[in-house]
Structure 1
Amino acid sequence: MNSNNQSPNTFNLFLLRIYLIYAGFMFTITFLLGTPVVLLALILKYDKLALVVNHYWAYVFFFLVGIRLEVTKQGIVEKKSTYIFCANHFSFLDIAIMPVMPVPFKFVGKVSIAKVPLMGAIFKRFHITVDRAKLRDRYATYKKGIEALKSNCSLTIFPEGGIRSGNPPQMESFKEGPFRMAIETGVSLVPVTLADNWHIFPDDGQFFFRRKKCRIVIHEPIDPSKYTMETLKEFQEDVKKIIQQELNRLNS
């Protein structure tokens, strides 16, 4: 995956990697500082507490690494309502930025995240993991997602199914999961455009972190009642079009 930015020279690349080390250090420190509250949530069996901490952690982390967040809300997202947030996925930074959504949520993410020391264990406890290589696991994850939504817990799902695009800001095709969940439960789906994460922390193997404004667009929630399982593809394409048009506009 390549960013459209000009490749940095050797000295600048060195500085960008130093910045990455600093960002990684701040990520670890802020994560550890929030751990006592997360442990309290475990003891009390009150998941929402940990999810709310995750929301505020995102703002603290990006402030400390000097990245300004610019969040644009195109519709009304009620804090007491339940939603499925669907965003483009070009960078591992997407996982860190999504907690700025207006309501706490559970991620539906790949099981490989659960293998990360400490953070992986916490992720697996409070979020929903999926092994996409196993049909039975995909079905179990789908059912867990439905149960969470029916329990008034919002979800965040990257509908591309991972970082798959080799030509950002152009997205890959969407998986059906979040759209089926929306139709089955009647929960509104919110498209989210992450315009700059692939510039800041590209998934290109160079391991650098760039200081840049981070623009997030939270689009108007979509009522799934106008779609059916027979028009599922139309639902997918409508959401993809909303996000892709915004990506194209913000990266033109």
Structure 2
Amino acid sequence: MKRLFKSVHLYYFQVWLGLFFTSLYPVIYYFSRHPVKFHAMNRMRWIFSYLSSLFSGFLFRFTYEKKLDWSKTYIICANHTSNLDITAIILLAKRNYVFFGKEELLDNFVTGIYFRTIDIPVNRESKISAFRAFKKAEEKLKDGKTVVIFPEGMISEHYPPVLQPFKNGPFRLAIEQGVQILPVTICNNWNLMWDDGKRYGTRPGICDICVHAPIDTASLTTDDADELKNKVYDIIYNQLDSYQKKIQ
């Protein structure tokens, strides 16, 4: 019975997501035309993400270690196990931002128009594609746009999730561009929707998100990239561990 409920709820969520996205698509398409209107497209993304989540019973609870200055540019680094992680970042970000993600998202009904216009697709199996994608991310940062990167580079097959090793790219990029890293721990989205929900279904609930204090990179060199990567990894790992102990 529980499995049936989760399967029905996944379908229910997908219907709401499709309904709100389709309703807003003409406006999104208009804003995607040249020149692309970043703020308006991200605003539309916030609206359909918020409404589809709300109507499906997904609520997001953000805890901040420090009040954020959204006039600054960040590289947001978060752990990743669920499509709800994307919604969490969309609801978190308060200024122009772009996602850095796998090129398969170009073919997705919802994400396709964004990855063909403002977001950055990458073929993770191609070094040339990765190089070009990071050059685009560099351009976005120089233009004052926040870049969202999931540094694990993948969603693990391990269930329950285990935090995967981080890639170096986001941390070298932050140091080279002199922007702050914003670590974000997504505590329990996997328990409400693992990956895309197909294997385990979904269920309504509260998604707990911890937004950590930004880490300044102004005094760092590229030689410090590994140390910065390890620091962010430890922050997220320890928060996940603390959260699991608290709810047990």
The question of a shared fold, defined as TM-score above 0.5 by the shorter chain, is answered with: yes
Aligned counterparts, 1:124-163, within 5 A: 124-163=116-155
State the aligned residue count: 242
Paired residue for 1:121, among 72, 94, 113? 113
Q: In 2 relative to 1, CA 118–195 (structure 1 residues): closer, same or farther, beyond 3 Å?
A: closer
Tell me which residue corresponds to 1:22.
12
Tell me which residue corresponds to 1:42.
32
Residues 38-88 of structure 1: per-residue CA shift (max 9 Å, x gap): 122123521221012223333222211112211111123222221111000
- Alignment partners' CA distance in 2, 1:176 and 1:148: 19
AA matched with 1:157: I
Tell me which residue corresponds to 1:100.
91
Give unmatched runs, 5+ long, in structure 1.
1-10
Give unmatched runs, 5+ long, in structure 2.
none
Residues 176-195 of structure 1: per-residue CA shift (max 9 Å, x gap): 11101100111111000111
1:208 aligns to 2:201 (yes or no): yes
AA matched with 2:40: L
1:233 aligns to 2:226 (yes or no): yes
- Alignment partners' CA distance in 1, 2:198 and 2:65: 34
1:179 aligns to 2:171 (yes or no): yes
Report % sequence identity. Answer: 29
Residue 135 (structure 1) shift: 0.8
Q: In 2 relative to 1, CA 118–249 (structure 1 residues): closer, same or farther, beyond 3 Å?
A: closer
**Given the two structures, how large is their TM-score scaled by the length of structure 2?**
0.91
SS in 2 for 1:189: strand
**Given the two structures, how large is their TM-score scaled by the length of structure 1?**
0.90
Q: For the Cα contact (< 8 Å) 2:156–2:162, is it kept in 1?
A: no
- Alignment partners' CA distance in 2, 1:198 and 1:36: 32
Aligned counterparts, 1:49-60, within 5 A: 49-60=40-51
- Alignment partners' CA distance in 2, 1:205 and 1:31: 20
SS in 2 for 1:213: strand
Paired residue for 1:65, among 29, 32, 56? 56
1:75 aligns to 2:69 (yes or no): no
Q: For the Cα contact (< 8 Å) 1:77–1:102, is it kept in 2?
A: no
Residue 154 (structure 1) shift: 0.5
- Alignment partners' CA distance in 2, 1:145 and 1:248: 31
Cα-Cα RMSD: 1.7
Residue 211 (structure 1) shift: 1.5
Residue 226 (structure 1) shift: 3.6
